[in-house]
Amino acid sequence: HEDLCGNTTFDWNRTWYTANPDLTQCFQNTVLVWVPCIYLWLLAPFYCLHLYCHDHGRIHISCLCAAKMVRFCIIFGHFQCIILALCIIQLERIRGCRSSIFLFLFWVLAVVCSLVPLRAKIQLAMDEGIASDIVRYLAFFSYFTIQLAQLFLCCFADQPPEGNLVFNSLQNPCPVKDASFLSKILFWWFTGLVVKGYRTPLAAEDLWTLREEDTSYKIISELQEDWTAERAKLQKQEKALVSGVALGSRLPDQAQLLRKLQKKQSSGFFLLSTLARKFGPYFLTGTLCIIFHDAFMFAIPQVLSLLLGFMRDEDAPLWKGYFYATLMFLLSCLQSLFNHQYMYTCFTVGMRVKTAVMGLVYRKSLVINSAARRTCTVGEIVNLVSADTQKLMDFVVYFNAVWLAPIEIALCLFFLWQHLGPSALAGIATVILIFPLNGFIAKKRSRLQVRIQMKFMDGRIRLMNEILNGIKILKFYAWEKAFLEQVLGYREKELKALKKSQILYSISIASFNSSSFLIAFAMFGVYVMLDDRNVLDAQKVFVSMALINILKTPLSQLPFAISTTMQAMVSLRRLGKYLCSEELKVDNVSKAPLSSDVAIENGTFSWSAEGPPCLKRINIHVPRGSLVAVVGHVGSGKSSLLSAMLGETEKRSGRVTVKGSVAYVPQQAWIQNATVQDNIIFGREKLKTWYNRVLEACALLPDLDILPAGDATEIGEKGLNLSGGQKQRVSLARAVYRKADVYLLDDPLSAVDAHVGQHIFDKVIGPKGVLRDKTRILVTHGMSFLPQADLILVLVDGEITESGSYQELLSRHGAFADFIHTFASTERKESAIQRGKETLHSSGKLKTCKLVMAFGISSISLFFFFFIKLTYGLSIFNRGDTTNSNLQNMEPVSEADEEQVPEDLGKLTEVDKARTGRVKLEMYRKYFKTIGLAIIIPIVFLYAFQQGASLAYNYWLSMWADDPIVNGTQIDTNLKLTVFGALGFVQGQLYQTSLRSLQLHMDLLINVLRSPMSFFECTPSGNLLNRFAKEIDAIDCMVPDGLKMMLSYPFWFHSLLVSISKAGVLLFHCGPQSFYVATSCQLRRLEAVSRSPIYTHFNETVQGASVIRAFGEQSRFILQANKRVDFNQTSYFPRFVATRWLAVNLEFVGNGVVLAAAILSVMGKNTLSPGIVGLAVSHSLQVTGILSWIVRSWTDVENNIVSVERVNEYADTAKEASWSIEGSSLPQAWPHRGTIEFQDYGLQYRKGLELALKGITLNVQERDKVGIVGRTGAGKSSLALGIFRILEAAKGKIFIDGVNIADIGLHDLRSRITIIPQDPVLFSGSLRMNLDPFDTYTDEEVWSSLELAHLKNFVSNLPDKLNHECSEGGENLSLGQRQLVCLARALLRKTKILVLDEATAAVDLETDTLIQSTIRTQFEDCTVLTIAHRLNTIMDYTRVIVMDRGNISEMDSPANLIAQRGQFYRMCREAGLV
């Protein structure tokens, strides 16, 4: 072709068919010069548009920017290109682009295009000398040097833009922002953290702050709007369907079922489309990378074909061999880069999806209505944010394989057809046979995993959650074994499903391992059998094998991708269903201004849209500043009325109006795992004077004196280390501190004793209390408060039967008046005496003394004491008698004093700590020990044998390829094919097994259940749930898979070493690996540790949602959840980048091996046969992947074996005594009398501390009724702890019926005596299971106990009677009904010894009287010990024990003690009983 130069532009003879290749002068002066400029001009408009749309702020002119521009100005020639490039540099600076991929590629192109003229110039200078045209030479070399300098400068990033204050203010910003384009694609920016992790174990503070685009706030604020719009669309569709049904006839059941199914499906689809809109564009950039990766991947076998053709051609010049080797290296490098950019993009999108879904689920849990909330337990919600988000993350990574794998398979078969002709059809037939098998297995595994395994896992986690919440009850009743069996039942079913899944997976792996052989065998067999002239040379064999190796990836990925997609669809449906479930309607309560603060007009309410109404015909008008008392029997709808005012119930009809802000005190106090102060101020600023006033009014000051760090003491989960009364007072203080307009108080005085209750009523709720000007609606069972109420509402079966003031109701002589006359005489007398006393003594001192005395006999749960002494020792009780202190004149704590409280003094909860360093070999030993050597040794041998066969069959192929061709044919073809088939068959039959973690789970479960109560007080349930969910899941699935990979690859690697000698590679490969494993392992631990607080916070929020809503604190809790999720992602992000960093480094080593093998083959062209070269190069192409896989599976095992380490953590913690002692001669009927004898008994909370009980000597005769009273810290609860051996004796003994309780098993003891605890705990399951988990009693006995507990009518009216399903924590029963169920448990066991711990706090007075009479009659022939809070309940007891500082100070009958006028007399006088 003639052109501007006057000669041809391109000459093949000069460029290709020559021993000394070169390009024509014309080509060098035109094409090579203009290619970079054309690239620049063509793409510049699009790049400028991109810069225009993405403004990051202006960058100051830095040294780097100035250097780039100066060098541009020096370059002469191509004036337009230089001007354009200068403009782009300026535009990048103005728009804040710190590293330019566009200009980097321009300079790469420019340098590459200048290499040919450079070579030509150097050649010319060597031939003719430089003097002939020195100016031109110098100009070109300078030009080339400046181009290289510009390329070098483009490898660095500019300084941050001046406006980027957020980035500059971050403490430890992520270096990816500072990284240049080159550093980003090679992940060099991560090296700093890897080196740091190698030198010292990483800690949380070493991790980078999340990039702004990865934070919860940024992701969810944008996604929330989209999801709300999508949900509105879905609801619109639903309404249209409902209205369509309303117009027509009633739908048949099948159609209704179909509609429900459609709703489920569409909710999942809507969620997917919302996520796709938000994250789709970024995900598409990753998809583009994988397409480029595939293009380079398919180019490599074509170059290999050319290289093997070159080896066969004796006349081919050597430079072609080097050219092919270099080209193969470059293609391999580009393939690696694009692959890891794709993976990085996928994991980043996956991380953001996880953040988004967690955020949506959390926000939903704050607005979900009670009916929907009852359908999903806390455990299930936690599963949504753990298991289901993980499934979505996997889906993001493998989704592209669903459509890309079939295209890759088709391309492989197309290229195979080109090499082998119609014989490739045999390969297609083999693929068609293998493919459905893998598809079927994937579908079957998916069904097993989703429907069965996940179902059992959900059940197991739900049950574990309940066990951890009710562990105190389990220990008191000795029910651990019953629940242990239930958990193991779930676990067994889960493992059965897992085992089936593993067997299917083994078949799938075996078919995958033999797939490349089967395809090769089918194709080569058909090829040589079709025609004798079809010979297998090196080119055909090894190019085909390279293509078959490529084919293996999509063949293995496709079933996995389909399975992952199906699992993700199930997870999307589950998430969609939860996120689309009914929410609390905003219009349930209107805030319109009215004359009255709270008004309900003609209201009918129910707990669910379909359920029966819980409140009917409600009409209330509450004037501002009035006190309204709500009374009624257990289950009459008192709490429901407050819920209706909060908008928590479904409003069927009528109107509810509440004016101003609301504060709510629930019946069961909701306490956060935070300090006392944080619980009270609840997110508000601390106003010192007001805060102290609230503490005083709520009778909390004496408590703070006792707590180790005062109000800075941390309260355990659900208030574990506080008594019922203290929890209730903290809950009340939270409401009072709020200074709200309307106060809804759901029986806050039931858990405190009468005197503290009176103090709180006077100081807080009553006409003279701090809330006197506020509107108060008080649910109460205390009759003494009713005369001071402005309005009393009497509820019966959800209706207001009477309303009016106290006097009005009495004058009507209705049911209320009869009730008052019957039950209130003692209380009225008591309160009258108390009020009389208060008016007599106006000096603050006596009042304070009374307050402390009243507090002295208030409810302290057994574990409150346990905690105090555990953390602080008994010395706190030796500071002098608190009774003498004048609380009202106490000086407020100064700020300086406050700061001096040691940080860890009031700390209770142990944060989940990450271990440091490499995992100990002991963990591997423990794991392998649980599997057994009998399984492990055969597996190792089989893997070694399989790899030996694999090497033999590959080597056999190379020998076959080198076989000489005689008359166009090869000899002994059939024999070669038979040997090849036999070797391939052997290597394909790999033995697989299921490595299960049954023993590890069992050990963990037993270790946890056998831990003492102190362990549960300081270990958050989130930490334990994390072990039972995520860690056990990792041991079940990840560790066995990782071990299988790890076992197969070293053998494979050694077989490669035999093929190509490359010992040096191992050094390169071990370098990055040792850096990586140390860092990756620690990141895995940090990520696991930061996951627990997310679950704990979720748990807490779901349980306290109504309180959070009432106080309007949703946004603060959302911020806390965001913080926890972000903290977790700060360790997850570097974790997956670490894998990419390693893979890129290792694959470049592997690509170096490809280059070395190819170049060595070219150099040894005359001595090496094409077969050996084919074997070496095709194996070296696999090295890249295998090196990465070895290290990655090695690291995955080490990362996941951390789970074994974390599960094993609780093996070394302190344990209780054994549950039962073998060969014990304890009589079956023990104790048959019920005598208790303490002999010089001492109890200590921790070694080295003072005794909590000091030398108690006491005899309790059979049928004695003993009341135990005393001030806070006196040791009342310690006696009960000692009898149940919750704490072991420090000295002395306790004998029950003459048997030393220290000599018998804990279950033998605890199952033969009974306690009715203060907190009524129920478990999800049938009512019968809650009464009798071991199925020991007959139905008649159960019904009898229910009748005696006054529950028979209630239970017999339930549709399922005894099989009535109790929801989690028994939430579908009222608190009073739960208390009665606990009484029924005691009646059913009917042991000779009964301990009562304020067992009737949550029931109304009438029921209380019935219960007291039941206890007196039914337990007449039993020994009863009552830790008394209301003194009037023990006045008819045989004996009263007054405890004081661990000693018995008084002991006699109540009458005698009163006559002695000692401590008990003073208590009774204060209570108004004498």
Mean pLDDT computed over 456-468 = 84
Angle separating helix axes 1170-1208 and 933-961, nearest 10 degrees = 160
* Tokens, residue 1466: 């003073």
Q: Using CA atoms, how far apart are residues 1271 and 1273, in angstroms rounded to an integer?
A: 6
pLDDT at 1119: 92
Name the band, by pLDDT with cuts 50, 70 and 90, for residue 900: very low
pLDDT at 837: 38
Is residue 838 over pLDDT 50? no
Between 276 and 153, the more confident residue is 276
pLDDT at 350: 92
Give the dihedral sign, CA 39/42/48/49. negative
Per-residue 3-state assignment (H helix, E strand, C coil) for 512-576: HHHHHHHHHHHHHHHHHHHCCCCCCCHHHHHHHHHHHHHHHHHHHHHHHHHHHHHHHHHHHHHHH
pLDDT at 917: 57
Angle separating helix axes 1114-1163 and 318-365, nearest 10 degrees = 170
Phi, psi of 1236 (to 5 degrees): -125, 130
Mean pLDDT computed over 383-412 = 88
Mean pLDDT computed over 726-753 = 86
Most confident of 323-327, 581-585, 1065-1069, 1417-1421: 323-327
pLDDT at 296: 93
Cβ-proximal residues to 26 (8 Å cutoff; 6+ apart), any chain: 3, 4, 5, 6, 7, 8, 9
pLDDT at 850: 30
pLDDT at 6: 52
* Tokens, residue 118: 């450079």
Lowest mean pLDDT among 121-130, 577-586, 1310-1319: 121-130
pLDDT at 1045: 67
DSSP bridge pairs for 1350: none
Q: What is the DSSP string of 746-762?
A: ESTTSSS-HHHHHHHII
| H-assigned helices in 909-962 | 921-931, 933-961
pLDDT at 407: 92
Q: Using CA atoms, how far apart are residues 146 and 68, in angstroms rounded to an integer?
A: 10
Q: Contact, 1466 vs 1474, CB < 8 A? A: no
pLDDT at 892: 34
pLDDT at 5: 57
pLDDT at 911: 55
Q: Using CA atoms, how far apart are residues 945 and 926, in angstroms rounded to an integer?
A: 27
Q: Using CA atoms, how far apart are residues 1438 and 202, in angstroms rounded to an integer?
A: 64
**405-420 pLDDT tens trace:** 999 988 988 898 888 8
Most confident of 346-355, 451-460, 1436-1445: 346-355
Q: Tokens 């809790």, residue?
A: 1117
> What 3-state DSSP class applies to 657?
strand
Closest to 1419 (Cα-Cα) out of 1362, 1345, 1355: 1345
Mean pLDDT computed over 1167-1192 = 74
Neighbours of 1251 (CB within 10 A): 20
pLDDT at 897: 36
Q: Are strands 596-606 and 613-623 parallel, antiparallel or unpaired?
A: antiparallel
Work out the burial of residue 1355: count CB atoms within 10 Å of its CB; fewer than 13 is exposed, 13-18 middle, 19 or more buried: buried
Q: Which long-range contacts (CB under 8 A, 24 or more apart) does 907-911 make?
A: 907/714, 907/871, 908/713, 908/714, 908/715, 908/716, 908/721, 908/867, 908/871, 908/1017, 908/1018, 909/673, 909/714, 909/716, 909/717, 909/1018, 909/1019, 909/1020, 910/1018, 910/1019, 910/1020, 910/1023, 911/1089
Q: Contact, 1134 vs 194, CB < 8 A? A: no
**867-899 pLDDT tens trace:** 333 333 333 333 333 333 332 233 333 333 333
Between 271 and 717, the more confident residue is 271
Work out the burial of residue 273: count CB atoms within 10 Å of its CB; fewer than 13 is exposed, 13-18 middle, 19 or more buried: middle
pLDDT at 716: 73
What percentage of the chain carries pLDDT values higher than 70?
81
Name the band, by pLDDT with cuts 50, 70 and 90, for residue 659: confident
DSSP bridge pairs for 1296: 1236, 1299
Is residue 796 over pLDDT 90? no
Is residue 1316 over pLDDT 70? yes
Mean pLDDT computed over 1209-1231 = 79
Cβ-proximal residues to 1190 (8 Å cutoff; 6+ apart), any chain: 1046, 1049, 1050, 1053, 1069
Q: Using CA atoms, how far apart are residues 1406 and 1383, in angstroms rounded to an integer?
A: 16
Is residue 288 over pLDDT 90? yes
**1323-1379 pLDDT tens trace:** 878 888 888 888 888 888 888 888 888 888 888 888 888 888 887 777 778 777 888
Q: Are strands 775-779 and 1253-1260 parallel, antiparallel or unpaired?
A: unpaired
Q: Are strands 1289-1296 and 1236-1243 parallel, antiparallel or unpaired?
A: antiparallel
Name the band, by pLDDT with cuts 50, 70 and 90, for residue 1070: low
pLDDT at 887: 29
> What 3-state DSSP class applies to 237?
helix
Q: Contact, 627 vs 789, CB < 8 A? A: yes
Name the band, by pLDDT with cuts 50, 70 and 90, for residue 338: very high
Q: Using CA atoms, how far apart are residues 1437 and 1458, in angstroms rounded to an integer?
A: 13
Name the band, by pLDDT with cuts 50, 70 and 90, for residue 1126: very high
Work out the burial of residue 592: count CB atoms within 10 Å of its CB; fewer than 13 is exposed, 13-18 middle, 19 or more buried: exposed
Lowest mean pLDDT among 50-64, 130-144, 850-864: 850-864
pLDDT at 1083: 85
Is residue 648 over pLDDT 80? yes
Q: Contact, 1039 vs 927, CB < 8 A? A: yes
Is residue 550 over pLDDT 90? no
Neighbours of 895 (CB within 10 A): 8
Mean pLDDT of the chain: 77
Mean pLDDT computed over 678-686 = 89
Between 933 and 832, the more confident residue is 933
The widest CA-to-CA distance across the chain, in whole angstroms, is 133
Between 120 and 745, the more confident residue is 745
**1245-1288 pLDDT tens trace:** 766 667 778 888 888 888 888 888 876 667 777 888 888 888 88
Lowest mean pLDDT among 119-123, 576-580, 675-679: 119-123
Is residue 787 over pLDDT 80? yes
> What 3-state DSSP class applies to 320?
helix
**5-24 pLDDT tens trace:** 555 666 677 777 777 777 77
Neighbours of 1114 (CB within 10 A): 15
